[in-house]
Structure 1
Amino acid sequence: MRIRSGLSLAGCWLALSMPVMASPAHQLDFGHPAPAASATRTVEVDMSDIAFSPKSLDVKAGETVRFVLVNKGQLLHEFNLGHAAMHVEHQKEMLDMQQSGMLTPTGMSHAGMDHSAMGHGAMKHDDLNSVLVAPGKTAELIWTFTKTDNLEFACNVPGHYQAGMVGTVKIAP
């Protein structure tokens, strides 16, 4: 995760509600973001306090899935695709964001914050495999899975993963 500042609160809320897109050059070992037009299937994932529904997903290597993420809870939640080790590292970054005051229980805050003075440099939640969804909001992540692998989808907001907000992604050939 790269951490940067400079987003206004309004820009952050806009970013939370927009689909994630990046060029194919920006990819992870298990896939990359894709344009909505390339999705072959839509999967709705409900986020509540503190659970995902469904708890597991089955996809195929090469498939592009449009994830519609509906936060039905009262807290900010994240949908993050990755390996268990990636989630452990991302949780540390999210904890830093929370401790700095940037990440709140219900959203992101940049108001009056000088993150560089805190020794964090500039902060921003901008992982290509991750979307933050504010309470009562809906967001999307369109993802092409490039190889067979067993992954997790998780909420890495501090304490959520540990409380069971994690599911499995099975990728078939």
Structure 2
Amino acid sequence: MTLHKCLSLASCLWVLSLPAVASPGEHFDFGHSAPAASATRTIEVEMSDIAFNPKSLDVKAGETVRFVLVNKGHLLHEFNLGHAAMHAEHQKEMLDMQQSGMMTPTAINHAGMDHSAMGHGSMNMPGMKHDDPNSVLVEPGKTAELTWTFAKTDNLEFACNVPGHYQAGMVGQLKVAP
């Protein structure tokens, strides 16, 4: 075995030995996840088929908000913070997850997911997981939370990227003021 292959194998083994957390290397210019205890405000967002209530939100740069997400609909929904381009990219991943059977229109395939990390789903199939710190899936009749510290003034969206939901209008405006 060459030195390069040994170093590559050692690197892979080191990465696999790290504890599972939600996308630790992922950086968002608009903020980061935070513990619920650090929230300065709580906002409840209702999810229905196919809409958010409220449809727009205003927060301040530097503010830590605890979002309480209540799915009152009959379908699986997602609450995802980001820019439109981020949502478009994430929608491709969500379609792959649905096509692979990891989620159905109404549920998450719990047999293939580990919900212990940060309250988000993590799937056991290589390359496919739903563990982004800016996103949470909520099954019908369930409630979930996401706590976020907003880093800068920005115009974001909160969206459901379950296939077809964003396109049907399940997206809201989130303005981050100074």
Does TM, normalized by the shorter one, top 0.5?
yes
CA drift of 1:108 comes to 1.6
1:61-87 deviation per Cα after TM superposition (whole angstroms, max 9, x unaligned): 000000000000000000000000000
> Which secondary structure state, in structure 2, belongs to the residue aligned with residue 73 of structure 1?
coil
Match of 2:160 among 146, 155, 163: 155
1:120-140 deviation per Cα after TM superposition (whole angstroms, max 9, x unaligned): 734221111000000000000
The equivalent of 1:164 in structure 2 is 169
The equivalent of 1:63 in structure 2 is 63
The equivalent of 2:9 in structure 1 is none
The equivalent of 1:54 in structure 2 is 54
Structure 1 pair 97–49 and aligned structure 2 pair: CA distance change class (3 A)? same
The equivalent of 2:134 in structure 1 is 129
Are 1:107 and 2:104 an aligned pair?
A: no
> Which secondary structure state, in structure 1, belongs to the residue aligned with residue 57 of structure 2?
strand
The alignment covers a number of residue pairs equal to 146
User: What is the letter of the counterpart of residue 99 of structure 2?
Assistant: Q
Give structure 1 regions of 4+ aligned residues with deviation exceeding 2 angstroms.
Answer: 20-23, 120-123
Any conservation in 1 of the 2:23–2:131 contact (CA below 8 Å)? Answer: no
The equivalent of 1:90 in structure 2 is 90
Give the structure-2-normalised TM-score.
0.77
User: Alignment RMSD, CA only?
Assistant: 2.0
Match of 2:146 among 137, 141, 149: 141
The equivalent of 2:40 in structure 1 is 40
Structure 1 pair 89–144 and aligned structure 2 pair: CA distance change class (3 A)? same
Any conservation in 1 of the 2:72–2:141 contact (CA below 8 Å)? Answer: yes
Any conservation in 1 of the 2:60–2:177 contact (CA below 8 Å)? Answer: yes
User: What is the letter of the counterpart of residue 55 of structure 1?
Assistant: K
Any conservation in 2 of the 1:36–1:142 contact (CA below 8 Å)? Answer: yes
Any conservation in 1 of the 2:69–2:145 contact (CA below 8 Å)? Answer: yes
CA drift of 1:26 comes to 5.3
1:56-112 deviation per Cα after TM superposition (whole angstroms, max 9, x unaligned): 000000000000000000000000000000000000000011111111011221648
- Identity score, percent: 82
1:31-57 deviation per Cα after TM superposition (whole angstroms, max 9, x unaligned): 000011110000000000000000000
Give the structure-1-normalised TM-score.
0.79
Gaps of 5+ in 2: 1-20, 113-124
Tell me, in whole angstroms, the C-alpha distance in 2 between the residues paired with 1:124 and 1:26.
Answer: 14
Gaps of 5+ in 1: 1-19, 113-119
